[in-house]
Amino acid sequence: MIKKTDSKGTGTMKINFLQILTVGLLSSSVLAQQVGIAKSKNEDSNNKQQIIYAELIQPDTYNPLTTTDNETALRLSELIFESLVYIDHRGEVQGRLAENWKVFNGNKRIVFTLRKGIKWHDGTAFSANDVKFTYDAIMNPLSDLPTDRRKALEVIESIKPLSENVVKIDFKQSIPEPEKRFLFKILPAHLFEGKPVISKLSKFNKLPVGTGYYKFERETKNKDVILVANKDHYLGQPRIPSFTMRYQPEVSLLVQSLVLNAIDLMIEVPPQKITEIANTGKFTILPYNSLTFAFFGYNFNNPVLRLKEVRLAMTYALNRQKMLDDIYFGRGEVISGPFSPASWGYNPDVDPLSYDLEKARALLKKAGLVDNNKDGIVEYNGKPVRLRLKIPLYSGNEGGLSVCMRFQNHMKQIGIDVALEHREIVKWKEEVKTDHNFDIVFAEWLFDNSSNIYSLFHSTESGPGGDNFISYNNPRVDSLLSVFSTTINQEVRRRINYELHRILNEDSPYTFLWTLEKNAAIDSKVKKFIVQPYRFFTFANEWFIPEEAR
Amino acid sequence: MLKKTALLSIPLVASLFVSCGPTLKGVVVLPNGTPTQNMKLAVYSQPPTDSVAVKPDGTFKISKRVAKGQTYTLIAEDRDGNMGFVRNYVVNPENTEKIIIHLSKEIDAKDAVLEGDVYIQQDTGPGEKIFKSSQ
């Protein structure tokens, strides 16, 4: 469901997702002086052709293959690099570096014909050897990249350039729509001296060279990244001559920067700021279906949390709708399983577990968690149940902090003591994903279109750094996930996800919370503002600012 | 290992199959209530299912990715940006009501951000995901 704030900013109403918000005007000169950011706007206003956008976190690398769990790097790489194919507005696979392709042998072979005349940003010709190099580098065990990336290509038997612009790929088995395996970005072989190894220390990671719409120009002292249009791009020169990515870790300053036009684009507007931004009348606010979901994850290495009744009790004890309404102004939807409601994997027949404190208490009692000494905390095997909830600490995480504090209070009502443990974000991720040093974690998964939850819940994925950091182990779920990953039938995959959704709702390894509505805000002078929900900038070459608006 | 998995999956796969899925069927009408005729129109939905062309007699049918029980907003749009909506249509067997989408010129969609395109979520193989803190 998509909602927008009404024109008075006093409530919400349902709208069609194509509608944009345009209301009112806000005087901003005072604010400008306060934050000292109006100057850059004035400097740009005479000939406004560039787009400055801001990110809350810095990219971990500029190399699209070594980046790990970093949205900033993912988005930036979409402007600089390209893949053989991409998914267009209508969900169809289209060629990018590949001009066309043919599938043979019952989906066991694919032959790509690459576009001729493509050049890397340094002027070197792109060829089929770059495709092979990138594959070899990904599969090289010495390469320092997320295992997921390698896993996705394990089905490839061999890859062989047949000429400068033709490459043949054989699979170990039949692959449904094999062209979709080639959404990964291609790297220039000549900048790695022919050695197919990707290191996190490589010079390339700081000075990326791609074939995409924009060339990396430089990183400033303030960690801004300046990109300039690739005039030689085979689709023609992008219509926006320059993009600047500005690192701004303070979310309040970021909003003010936008309101004062010191930046032009905010990728994810905090729900509580939408009305303020809309009321300026200067921005297009675009809701988009980002496939995310938020959750509390329970560590199965803790014997208390291994009890299904306890996990279920914790879910029943949470008034999720009220939390969503109070903290995020209802801008989202409470969910019942591990997908966004906009995903093809979401099972609409499974309702979220209701808020029911009595049921929660009864479940705890059934599991043997009873407050024998009447101190307000239940005991299990004679010990009070005290759990640690890990939270990342950074500006802009006020919503997350409120959710965790509400969680703490709700748990207190059923006699479970929850201690909040704050960590700097890198440390937080390390303690959760690598060390598994937590009892409960509040986090979010952001998916592309694949709705593939294999790594989240398959028991083989629970090692250090794996996505199954809660160490979940359910043979039935493992079996379904294994079939999911091998079947070529999309309808079967959908049915499997529906069944997984039902099982995981009943087993509650996570308390599934909600999918929040995402909104981007951009200077309304920018037209044809089409975004891709995961990579965001896929269609940025089509964005433009009409001459009369510059 | 793979063979064993495949063998085990046969009954599972069979049980997961169902007969024909639900559809979204209806007609697009002009502001005066008469069905559109020979107009170039597209109908699509939110949450996204499929984008289909309206037939010359004004009817349409969406059968891809339609989920039972799901609530949809259906949008009809012509090339000039004239649009019509039906909100909160729930797909269930009891709901046999024909969907009627009224085109309206009250909504000026010429600057519509997607300019007639809708982003359709679709399976993309192994896929990617990001683990992140929730704000």
- The tens digit of pLDDT for each residue in A287-330 reads 887 789 999 999 999 999 999 999 999 999 999 999 999 998 88
Compare B51 and A268 and report the one with higher pLDDT.
Answer: A268
Among B39, B37, B29, residue whose Cα is nearest residue B74: B29
Q: What are phi and psi of A124, to 5 degrees?
A: -75, 145
**CA B30 to CA A244: how far, in whole Å?**
45
Instruction: Please give the share of chain B, as a percent, with pLDDT higher than 70.
Output: 63
The predicted structure's pLDDT at residue A467: 92
**pTM as predicted:** 0.71
Amino acid present at A531: V
Instruction: Please give the share of chain A, as a percent, with pLDDT higher than 70.
Output: 89
Residue found by looking up tokens 């000169």 in the block: A29
Interchain CB contacts (distance < 8 Å): A and B: 201
Q: How confident is the model at residue B116 (pLDDT cuts 50, 70, 90)?
A: very low
The pLDDT of residue A393 is above 50:
yes
The predicted structure's pLDDT at residue A540: 93
Among A403, A387, A314, A400, residue whose Cα is nearest residue A353: A314
* CA angle at B42 for the pair A4 and A521, rounded to the nearest 5°: 30
Q: How confident is the model at residue A40 (pLDDT cuts 50, 70, 90)?
A: very low
Residue found by looking up tokens 């919503």 in the block: A399
**What are the Cα distances from residue A548, in Å, to A46, A49, A537?**
12, 11, 24
Token pair of A262, please?
């010191």
Residues 41-100 of B with CB under 8 A from A: 46-48, 51, 65, 67-71, 73, 75, 83, 85, 87-88
Q: Give the pLDDT mean for A273-283.
A: 89
Among A497, A435, A444, residue whose Cα is nearest residue A471: A435
**CA A96 to CA B70: how far, in whole Å?**
34
- Eight-class DSSP state of A353: P
Other Cβ atoms closer than 10 A to A11: 10
- Eight-class DSSP state of A493: H
Other Cβ atoms closer than 10 A to A475: 8
The continuous run of DSSP H or E covering A413 comes out as helix A398-413
**CA A66 to CA A72: how far, in whole Å?**
13
Task: Give the residues across from B96 on adjacent strands.
Answer: none
Mean model confidence pLDDT for chain A:
86
Q: Contact A90/B118 with Cβ under 8 angstroms?
A: yes
Residues 96-155 of A with CB under 8 A from B: 148, 151-152
Out of B6, B112, B128, closest to residue A448 by CB? B128
Residue of A nearest to B70 (CA): A348
The predicted structure's pLDDT at residue A508: 97
Q: Contact B104/B72 with Cβ under 8 angstroms?
A: no
Q: How confident is the model at residue B85 (pLDDT cuts 50, 70, 90)?
A: confident
Q: How confident is the model at residue A477 (pLDDT cuts 50, 70, 90)?
A: very high
Cα A218 to chain centroid distance, Å, stands at 25
Q: Contact B84/B104 with Cβ under 8 angstroms?
A: yes
Amino acid present at A186: I
The pLDDT of residue A343 is above 90:
no
